[in-house]
């Protein structure tokens, strides 16, 4: 458009603005591009998108690379229901943006256009971008708030977790070098004892909201986990024939979850799953499981929960190792006025198998505490976990009276929320675990320091 036509367009807009109601004491506004853009924003906030669009289009005709005008144009198009145009204009605004403020505005209007058009999953990505380029803390909080809102209304949800941790016992080996077998000592091989190294995990889960009402929801889940092990030089000397791949684990799983709220403050869940796993590069098992859960909020701070579970494991390495696993879970969650959260959980498990070293009953008690107030001068969030577990094996090939294990463990985690990239933060975890058994082969000690990448949301 020529300069003369742009001038005529601006004059027409000036005439329109002169007819708009304004406070009597208002100062006259000079109709330069900056003031016209401000007025367009006012029109948007006053729910007058058509007027805002006309002003923004005039500014874009004047300067096609005006990122601010493009962002306003995109928002006006979205408010008028033209979501495809809004997304296309937002993309131009992102390309034209030169500073964090312009990039933030472009990312936000892109997310708004996508969400309004039904692409809430893609909108979450742009909101994460907006968090990363936010010009100040208030803008970042606004992007985080919108992200939470969009995610709760998105039918598609993706979670990504990755961790890397050095460990003193990557193979769950014995801390003892001698096995006492009916009073006779036998020296354990190097790979039967604890091997040090580095463990890594990658987990991806996908959820699709199949159906949702005010009182019920149904989700389809798909998940994948892959772990790997790198043995230390010391471990390689201890067990020359061992390879890290010998201890790698992988699994894929599909599930269907249904939850509904039959009464005030309560929820019932039914979840089914089917999966396949590998260990050491070889097929390990096929499994099917179902879980039933119930939770009830007694008040705003205390919630009780209970659950029953069953899983059938068909072992592919040896049919004798197949098992039926029955689980009972009880839990309580307490939130304090300070914002701290305390979770207490008790799990009882009965594993029935033809293999004596798999058939057992177990009980596990775990206590988790999440501190609301940051530590380390506000640099990190703190979580602490403590647990104890007992296992009772009625029979054992190594002891006439069966086998009994007692495990104690603890871990402390620090989440560095100020080291944030698009809503992902590093989490450092220090964990220790010790198992004492009447069969020395199963005595073990593990100390590990891990680094994980976790989403804040």
pLDDT in tens, 76-93: 999 999 999 999 999 999
Residue 394 has pLDDT above 90, yes or no: yes
pLDDT in tens, 336-351: 999 999 999 999 999 9
- Looking at residue 70, the DSSP 8-state letter turns out to be H
Residue 443 has pLDDT above 80, yes or no: yes
Q: 374-382: long-range contacts (C-beta < 8 A, 24 or more apart)?
A: 374/417, 375/414, 376/414, 378/418, 379/416, 379/418, 380/414, 380/415, 380/416, 380/417, 381/414, 381/415, 381/417, 382/412, 382/413, 382/414
Band (pLDDT 50/70/90 cuts) for residue 173 is confident
Residue 155's SS3 state is coil
**CATH class of residue range 156-372+393-404:** mainly beta
Let me know: does 294 contact 305? Beta carbons within 8 Å. yes
Closest by Cα among 3, 121, 104 to 62: 3
Percent of the chain with pLDDT over 70: 91
CA dihedral 150, 152, 157, 161 (to 10 degrees): 100
Q: Name the one residue in this structure whose structure tokens are 């890594």.
A: 200
* Dist. CA 339–CA 372, nearest whole Å: 5
Q: Which residues touch 255 (CB under 8 Å, ≥6 apart)?
A: 220, 221, 222, 223, 271, 272, 273, 274
* Dist. CA 286–CA 277, nearest whole Å: 7
- Percent of the chain as helix, strand, coil, to the nearest 5: 30, 45, 25
Section 180-200 average pLDDT: 79
Strands 184-187, 197-212: pairing is unpaired
* Dist. CA 86–CA 118, nearest whole Å: 13
Look up the CATH number of domain 3-152: 1.25.40.10
Where along the chain do its domains lie?
3-152, 156-372+393-404
Residue 277 has pLDDT above 50, yes or no: yes
Backbone angles phi, psi at 402, to 5 degrees: 85, -170
Alpha helices (H) along 67-136: 67-79, 83-96, 100-116, 120-133
* Dist. CA 174–CA 440, nearest whole Å: 7
* Dist. CA 143–CA 149, nearest whole Å: 10
Which range has the worst mean pLDDT, 5-14, 102-111, 337-346, 379-388?
5-14
pLDDT reported for residue 441: 87
């Amino acid at each position: 458009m020529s300069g003369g036509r742009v001038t005529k367009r601006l004059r027409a807009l000036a005439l329109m603005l002169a007819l708009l109601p304004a406070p009597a004491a208002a100062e006259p506004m000079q109709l330069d591009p900056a003031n016209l853009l401000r007025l367009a924003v006012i029109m948007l906030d006053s729910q007058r998108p058509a007027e805002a669009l006309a002003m923004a289009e005039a500014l874009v005709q004047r300067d096609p690379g005006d990122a601010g005008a493009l962002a306003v144009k995109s928002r006006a198009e979205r408010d008028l229901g033209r979501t495809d145009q809004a997304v296309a204009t937002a993309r131009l605004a992102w390309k034209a943006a030169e500073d964090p403020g312009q990039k933030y505005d472009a990312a936000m209007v892109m997310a708004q256009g996508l969400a309004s058009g039904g692409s809430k999953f893609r909108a979450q990505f742009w909101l994460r971008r907006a968090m990363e380029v936010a010009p100040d803390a208030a803008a970042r909080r606004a992007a985080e708030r919108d992200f939470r809102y969009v995610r709760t209304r998105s039918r598609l949800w993706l979670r990504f977790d990755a961790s890397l941790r050095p460990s003193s016992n990557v193979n769950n080996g014995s801390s003892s070098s001698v096995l006492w077998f009916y009073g006779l000592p036998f020296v354990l091989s190097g790979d039967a004892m604890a091997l040090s190294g580095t463990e890594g995990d990658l987990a991806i889960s996908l959820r699709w909201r199949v159906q949702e009402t005010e009182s019920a929801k149904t989700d389809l889940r798909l998940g994948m986990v892959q772990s790997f092990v790198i043995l230390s030089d010391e471990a390689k000397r201890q067990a020359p024939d061992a390879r890290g791949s010998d201890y790698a684990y992988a699994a894929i799983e599909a599930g269907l979850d249904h939850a509904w709220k039959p009464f005030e403050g309560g929820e019932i869940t039914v979840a089914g799953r089917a999966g396949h796993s590998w260990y050491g590069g070889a097929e390990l098992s096929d499994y099917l499981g179902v879980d039933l859960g119930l939770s009830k909020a007694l008040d705003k701070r205390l919630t009780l929960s209970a659950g029953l579970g069953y899983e059938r494991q068909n072992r592919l390495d040896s049919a004798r190792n197949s098992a039926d696993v029955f689980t009972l879970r009880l839990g309580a969650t307490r939130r304090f006025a300070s914002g701290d959260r305390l979770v207490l959980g008790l799990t009882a498990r009965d594993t029935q198998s033809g293999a004596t070293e798999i058939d057992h009953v177990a009980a596990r008690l775990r206590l988790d505490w999440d501190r609301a107030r940051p530590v380390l001068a506000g640099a990190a969030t703190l979580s602490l976990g403590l647990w104890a577990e007992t296992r009772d094996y009625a029979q054992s090939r190594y002891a006439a009276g069966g086998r009994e294990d007692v495990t104690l463990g603890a871990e402390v985690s620090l989440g560095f929320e100020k080291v944030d990239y698009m809503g992902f933060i590093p989490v450092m975890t220090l964990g220790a675990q010790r198992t004492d058994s009447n069969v020395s082969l199963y005595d073990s000690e593990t100390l590990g320091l891990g680094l994980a990448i976790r989403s804040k949301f």
